[in-house]
Structure 1
Amino acid sequence: MNNAIVIGAGPAGLSGAISMAQQGLKVTVIDEYMKAGGRLLGQLYEEPTGGWWNGVKESANLYNSALSLGVDFKLSTPVSNIEKIDGQWVVYTNEHTYTTPNLLLATGAAELPIPIPGWTLPGVMSVGAAQVMTNVHRVKPGNKGVIVGVNVLSSAIAMELKIANIEVACIALPRLTKVSEETGNPLTVMNSLLNVAHMAPSQLVKMGSKLMKNDFLKKMGITFYPKKGMKMWDIPIMLRKAVIEIYGNNSVDGVILADISPSGEIIPGTETKISADFVCIAGGLYPLAELAALAGCPFHWIEELGGYVPLHNEKMETVLDGLYVAGNITGIEGAKIAIKQGHLAGLTIANKNYHGKLEQEIQDALQQLNSTRENAFIQFHPDINIGKQKLQQYWIKHQQDIKLVKN
């Protein structure tokens, strides 16, 4: 029997498996993809130090470290269900059923779609798909593209496409609807864009972002934002134009853009066309937590974390005995933070197995996690610490409620 099973071979899952294996635990990692690494595989960007963060190499290093420690991998293996029977977690896959006393869910995040007329045409894809095609499979999604959705993820991937010598005509907003209420509102989007302004090569953009500290200046910035956009990495970022349609006969030929007001309403008569042979839709990310829901773990909606997250404490323990979480299932953050969370979760599981002998190691891991979060180069949500505080308040209340029921 496994001492622990990890579902998800991304940065959090790999790191968690390594930490447990280093403590002598027998660990199996299950993932539906054919290769370990998860979203880490697609990442490629220059860091403030001048070095490069290469997700393919980082994934290989983690995977090889896990293999050298005896971690067993079941790749190309989707998990269909989990449940607890007689004190053991039972994991159902398409080939076998596995049991374990400790289960770490490191399932990551999924992309939010934005419905746009014409989005079923060949050549329309999620921005994450374009990232994987380019950085993992070394296949160009096209020669000239348009990205719909201005956020941290789309901005970072646009930079990666430029590095691969793929032309990005522009990044524009989707049309404002009830579905795209957050992603189609220029003021809301500006707050997100300010979180990646430090990555821009333009000193003008960097300086301008530092001035946008209060709501009044942000509203003024949106009102006078150039209709042609401001360039980052030579890509026009358009906060006053929206993609209202993707057109083409048998595949993408381009998009139709329209000017929008500072509040996001379409201005009639301003429609223009931009030619393109592929379109990326970037609606953002949300925690992929269906398996935690199947297990019966309670959830809370925390906007600062990107959606519904399973209730857990700072040591990555859920309220269900033997069930742990790490990575983007706990809130949308970067790969380096996911690695630290996986390490912490692995130590917490090993500590349970060794009756509390690893408390100092856990405290050190917590400190490393907080430091990594504080110095994160890319922040998907500016108020992540507020979200984490809310989550801990929910945890404290849950523990208090349990005591009341017992008494």
Structure 2
Amino acid sequence: MSSRARLLVIGAGPAGLSAAAAAAEQGMQVTVLDEFTEPGGRMPGQYHEQGRKGWWVGKHVADELIARCRELGVDIRCGVAVHGMEYTTTWGIFTSCGLFTADYVLLATGAAEIPVPLEGWTLPGVMSIGAAQVLTNVHYVKPGERGIIVGMNVLSMAIARELSVAGVKIAAITLPCTNPLAGAAASPTASAKLLLRLAGLAPAAWMRIGGRLAAALRMEGLIARCYPHNGFRLWDIPIRLRTAVLSVNGSDRVESVTLVRVAPDGSPIPGSEHDEPADFVALSGGLYPLAELAAVAGCKFAYSPELGGHVPLHSERMETPLQGLYVAGNITGIESGLVAMAQGRLAAASITHAAGLAGADGERRVQEAIREVHAVRENALIQFHPGITGARAQLYRQWEQTSGRAY
């Protein structure tokens, strides 16, 4: 074990492990650091249907990546928190286990959940949707017997499906109540637009076809106005687009939630309040790029709502304007695990090419990896935000203008 590496990868999730394996295959010495106790990131808790391809099981994918990294001699160190980094002639990485140095650094730190504050959210039994996923799929512990999910987005819909398959009772998926922090998440019209984008996940063919048609015709406003207050069931879960949570109730734990019907603009309808029994509440505000280390390193940022917020400025090759610093995965914009893995392989191709390890095939490998990322993105079953492709193209143009480099 050494604190010196040719490539240091921060983050042992899908992007980081994929990059580590691909770089090690080219003969690069690689160390991976992660603050969690086990490698794999959020993959062990994820699984979803891919149409005719069957189920994508994140734990199996993570196990395969971890085994491949160890087979190639990648040094994976977990339980190591990184709190600083700076570049002199090499990168110095300051951690809870001392100083690491590397010629190249890949930030694959992933994303974090956006909090959804509401009255009563400090009661035991209120958790993020990601925490409910980890409890159920990683630790095999039910978050409760009957729960409410607050927030309609890609994350909540995907995890609601996982919880349902695992036998967890979801009483309803609702909106948060209108407040300064909820923003568009409290709007039935905005949520209807998102649901239409998720039509490909619907269990019935008529739902998938109808959803795509309605999305093409931009019918979200009409749907929000005509949507029944009691909602409809998807995977036997009530989707209540015209209902919001006013408060979570209980003395020393969650006992119920107070629901209220809302108008198409999200405003509560007076006199429609009622209590719904529940023993857990999962809050889902979506995800944002976890990019603090890029800021500490001195990387420039760009803001893009389509990518989930502020992201480090980087090229299509996943390099930042800083010498030897690369990024991959959700730190570059919120997308699926499959896209993160493809980005990790692209970052590895760029790094090994820059290090002179890929020989005459270096540029060809980079171009092939870029095409792979495009293909995976185009074939993605769902996207967290619309307009990702255009937002990335704009980001890459900004990087070229700022760095003065173009390929």
Q: Give yes or no for TM over 0.5.
A: yes
2:404 aligned with 1:397: no
Q: Larger deviation: 5-14 or 259-268?
A: 259-268
Using the TM superposition, give the Cα deviation of residue 202 of structure 1 relative to its aligned residue in structure 2, in angstroms: 3.2
3-state SS in 1 of match to 2:288: strand
Give the 5 Å matches for 1:8-407: 8-84=11-87, 86-213=88-215, 217-354=219-356, 357=360, 358-400=362-404
Measure the CA separation in 2 of the matches of 1:192 and 1:112: 17
Superposition TM-score, scaled by structure 2 size: 0.96
Using the TM superposition, give the Cα deviation of residue 306 of structure 1 relative to its aligned residue in structure 2, in angstroms: 0.6
Measure the CA separation in 2 of the matches of 1:360 and 1:216: 41
Measure the CA separation in 1 of the matches of 2:100 and 2:403: 30
CA 87–104 in structure 1, closer or farther in 2 if over 3 Å, else same: same
Using the TM superposition, give the Cα deviation of residue 204 of structure 1 relative to its aligned residue in structure 2, in angstroms: 4.2
Residue identity opposite 2:399 in structure 1: W
3-state SS in 1 of match to 2:386: coil
Conserved? CA contact 1:124–1:252, under 8 Å: yes
Using the TM superposition, give the Cα deviation of residue 217 of structure 1 relative to its aligned residue in structure 2, in angstroms: 2.1
| 1:91-120 alpha-carbon deviations (Å, 9 max, x no partner) | 111122100110000000000001010000
CA 248–202 in structure 1, closer or farther in 2 if over 3 Å, else same: farther
Residue identity opposite 1:138 in structure 2: Y
Aligned to 2:5: 2
| 1:330-388 alpha-carbon deviations (Å, 9 max, x no partner) | 00000000000000001111111117631101111111110000000121112111211
Conserved? CA contact 2:200–2:382, under 8 Å: no
Using the TM superposition, give the Cα deviation of residue 206 of structure 1 relative to its aligned residue in structure 2, in angstroms: 2.1
Using the TM superposition, give the Cα deviation of residue 389 of structure 1 relative to its aligned residue in structure 2, in angstroms: 1.5
Using the TM superposition, give the Cα deviation of residue 59 of structure 1 relative to its aligned residue in structure 2, in angstroms: 0.5
Counting aligned pairs with the same residue, the percent is: 46
Using the TM superposition, give the Cα deviation of residue 399 of structure 1 relative to its aligned residue in structure 2, in angstroms: 2.9
Using the TM superposition, give the Cα deviation of residue 209 of structure 1 relative to its aligned residue in structure 2, in angstroms: 1.0
Q: Larger deviation: 260-269 or 38-47?
A: 38-47
Measure the CA separation in 2 of the matches of 1:345 and 1:112: 27
Equivalent residue pairs, number:
401
Measure the CA separation in 2 of the matches of 1:150 and 1:259: 16
Measure the CA separation in 2 of the matches of 1:230 and 1:208: 15
3-state SS in 2 of match to 1:279: strand
RMSD: 1.4
Q: Which runs of 5+ in 1 are unaligned?
A: none
Residue identity opposite 1:56 in structure 2: K
